[in-house]
Amino acid sequence: MIQIDQVTRVFKEKKKTVTAVNNVSFSIEKGEVIGLLGENGAGKTTLLRMIAGILEPTSGGISINNLDVQKNPTEIKKTIGVLFGSETGLYDRLTARENLQYFARLYGLSRHHTENQIELLATRFGMKDYLDRRVGGFSKGMRQKVAIARTLIHDPQVILLDEPTTGLDITSANMFREFIHHLQNEGKTIIFSSHIMEEVQQLCEAIVMIHKGNVVYNGTLQNLYKEEETDNLNYIFMSKIVRGNSID
């Protein structure tokens, strides 16, 4: 369903050139949950931005449902929901409901459909009590719930979540993880990035491990454990990085 084909992204700044994503290829089937695992600066956000069609690859191509993301922005926008870390994109002066209505309008949802979706999402996330309060006064956890609801307002098939639990307290982070399971049961295709090994181990069967823009592993966790003869993902990660560095 998602094909990433030899994707490279280079950023040129005054003096230096950074290859944030280097010749990355992998594919994801419908209904899969993929953990994009890598430390800070590995290239996770850059890759997710390209999959979302927000950032153009320097070379290579990405398609979702056989549609090139660069060439079909309107279709792609309907298909995917994105949430980039703590950038919730919410308007503080609007209530939670007004925020959701605003984004629903951007997606061209009818008023009736919008109200149904808001009702459904508010129930699911337990935010009915504060739906009509201004987002400005919300705690981080409350905000994140509204931000997730915003990501899902148009019922997208594909969901991209960039470090969704970073900065959340334990309760909110756990709620979030449960919620990813729930979406998976609904048959959604999900890519989420994380630098937390345990989180990735809990949430997905398959991972893409990325280091300095390069994919160092792509496949199931089960297979990785077998290959490495241990299920200590932290250890595997460190040893892959060391091996990767000795190559270049």
Ligand X SMILES: Nc1ncnc2c1ncn2[C@@H]1O[C@H](COP(=O)(O)OP(=O)(O)O)[C@@H](O)[C@H]1O
Which of 7, 100 has the CB closer to Mg ion? 7
- What lies within 8 Å, CB to CB, of 19 at 6+ separation is 8, 9, 10, 213
Amino acid at site 119: E
Compute how many residues bind Mg ion; rule: CB under 5 A: 2
Q: Is the distance from CB of 21 to CB of 32 less than 8 angstroms?
A: no
Q: Give the orientation angle of helix 170-185 with respect to helix 140-152, to 10 degrees.
A: 20
The interface partner of residue 150, options being ligand X, Mg ion, none and the CB cut-off 5 to 8 Å by kind, is: none
The interface partner of residue 53, options being Mg ion, ligand X, none and the CB cut-off 5 to 8 Å by kind, is: none
7, 21, 43, 45: which one contacts Mg ion (CB under 5 A)? 45
Amino acid at site 211: H
| Minimum separation from the CB atom of position 234 to Mg ion (A) | 19
Closest alpha carbon to 97 in 36, 138, 140, 64: 138
Q: Is the distance from CB of 191 to CB of 34 less than 8 angstroms?
A: yes
Which of 40, 66 has the CB closer to ligand X? 40
Give yes or no for residue 46 binding Mg ion (CB under 5 A): no
> Which residue stretch of 36-44, 132-140, 180-188, 201-209 sits at the interface with ligand X (rule: CB under 6 A)?
36-44
Which of 42, 168 has the CB closer to ligand X? 42
